[in-house]
Structure 1
Amino acid sequence: MGIKRARENDEAEVDMTPMLDIVFIMLIFFIVTTSFVKESGLDVNRPKATKSQNDSKQKSILVRVNEYGNIIINNRIVDEQRVEAYIESLLAENPTDTIVLDAHEDVTHETIVTVADQVKALGLNIAVVSKI
């Protein structure tokens, strides 16, 4: 009878420890072999448009000084002392922030400086065109 009792107490057990060890080793292997690649490149922060396309095509005002010292704005001869007032009237019709100054090479520097001072008094930028 003793033999029979030993068989009743003898149950089949499966040891799970080696299987868990293998699972953890495989997990570590996959973590180590996975490559964490950061893509190289530049981060670009593009500015947002503040003006429409039509606003960016503003025309500049052309101020020419010919070889005789005459100041010509929009095909009209303007007195040296009235340049600022005439440009102000043009700005009321077509606002811009740039004046193009085209002076002949024989004009005195005094005339050019007088025109430039009046344009600067209006707070505008001056682009000087030189002919070579």
Structure 2
Amino acid sequence: MSHVLRRKRFQRRGGVEINLAPLMDMVFILLIFFLVTTSFTRESGVVVERPRAKTAEPLEKLSFIIGVTEKGEIFVEGRRIEIPMIRTYVSKVLRENPDAGVVVVCDRNAKTDVLIRVLDECRAAGAKNLSVAARKAGSDGGG
């Protein structure tokens, strides 16, 4: 009888074990699959060669930037737009922040006509703080 009691005392209690190794294998396989199949895209910016100016000053806060390329293309927030659409974009920014500044980054080889039309549209939208970006004379930084 003591032999039977001793055997019960050393028997495993009825517990269920969960083997996590296959689960971890699947997680790593899925991770590798997603890493391999993910396509990474690089956001393209607008390359603009700014003119030099001796009185150029760095701006503390840039609220809204409009880019004008050498070919006369206009970019706002990375999107190419036409001149009549500038007024809509600037008006939207000024409604959200009336003190916002508008900075026009214009390529030095762009036609002056395009720059003047962009500035006119900004003024028509109500922009009071309007600037044209330039590089400080003697600076080696490109674009």
TM-score (structure 2 length as normaliser): 0.46
Q: Which has the higher contact order (CA 8 A, sep 6+)?
A: 2
| Higher helix residue share | 1
Structure index of larger Rg: 1
